Amino acid sequence: MPSLDAARRRLRLSDNHISVLGFLVEEDRIPDELSQERAELGEAGLVDAGDKIAADLYPLVSTLMAPRVIARVELTGPQGVTSNGAVLGDEFIFVHEAWPGSRESEYVPAEPETLVWSLARMVDLHRDLTDEVDSGEVIQSTMGLFDQVIERMEAGKSEEPEVVAEMTGAPSRLAEVLAHLNCMWRMTVVWKGPGEKSGPDGLSVKVLSVWDCGLEGYWLRELPTEPVRDGQVDASSDLRVRRTSAKELWRLMTDLLPDEVQVAAVQTQA
């Protein structure tokens, strides 16, 4: 169920609840398949009988309807895939985080100087002893062999990494690292304006793909090169990952943001 914590300006909403709010703002007819979500918003007091949206929703709705920057964090772990992120508008910034197995995400207002902290929390970025042994080690393979290693590990068999490597033909080091895999995450930032990856639609995109491998540390995926388009990667595509540190990932997260947001986001680091 959707809900509002007025004291802290927090909201719990699903993607379908957001869709309903969009239809109401545009004064369009709400599709029948979203009738339950419309009723839930009414029960929660977020929309009245006349389809008027509660004033407490204005900051979030206005930001979602006209975003300047969108950050999406897709995290794949033992409990499946969760989608988190941030939306920056002209007046407000909201971060949102999902809970595995729940339809709703929590939307919370944020400030520019806390944005990188929020993104880092979404992926549980943390310092540990592996930062002291940041060797810059590189592993090279193919996406097909990577998929085979993951499939064998997900099959639930108690196989040593050496056995997995032998059975799949993958590099032994790849199997060793993936044996400690906690999660994989992909952070994408999109904005309208100039950037390194500006497309014909005027949108700029920056992406960061990382493996969190516990005792084996953090690994930055350098190949396939991001952003990856649908159909661009197959089993023969090159895979290259490089061991990195939480400190470098913090810097790379900051660099994902457009310049004007970047400056505000690092103010507290000066």
For 118-133, write each residue's pLDDT tens digit: 999 999 999 866 555 5
Q: How far apart are CA 126 and CA 128, in angstroms?
A: 6
248 and 182 Cβ atoms separated by less than 8 Å: no
> Domain segments of the chain: what residues?
3-110, 129-269
Element (DSSP H or E) covering residue 263: helix 259-265
pLDDT at 260 over 80: no
Residue with tokens 């930062």: 131
Q: Which band of pLDDT confidence, cut at 50, 70 and 90, is reported for residue 268? A: very low
pLDDT in tens, 133-189: 557 899 999 999 999 999 998 887 778 999 999 999 999 999 999 999 999 999 999
> Going along 31-79, which residue ranges are E strands?
69-77
Q: Which band of pLDDT confidence, cut at 50, 70 and 90, is reported for residue 261? A: low
Q: What is the pTM of this model?
A: 0.90
The pLDDT of residue 136 is 87
pLDDT at 59 over 80: yes
Angstrom CA distances, 176 to 5, 214, 217, stand at 45, 12, 12
Q: Is 40 helix (H, G, I), strand (E, B) or coil?
A: helix
pLDDT at 265 over 50: no
pLDDT in tens, 184-226: 999 999 998 766 555 657 789 999 999 999 999 999 999 999 9
Q: Which band of pLDDT confidence, cut at 50, 70 and 90, is reported for residue 111? A: very high
The pLDDT of residue 266 is 41
Q: Which band of pLDDT confidence, cut at 50, 70 and 90, is reported for residue 270? A: very low
Q: Distance from CA of residue 59 to its chain's centroid?
A: 22
Q: How far apart are CA 191 and CA 179, in angstroms?
A: 36
The pLDDT of residue 250 is 95
Mean pLDDT, to the nearest integer, of 50-71? 95
The pLDDT of residue 156 is 75
The pLDDT of residue 80 is 93
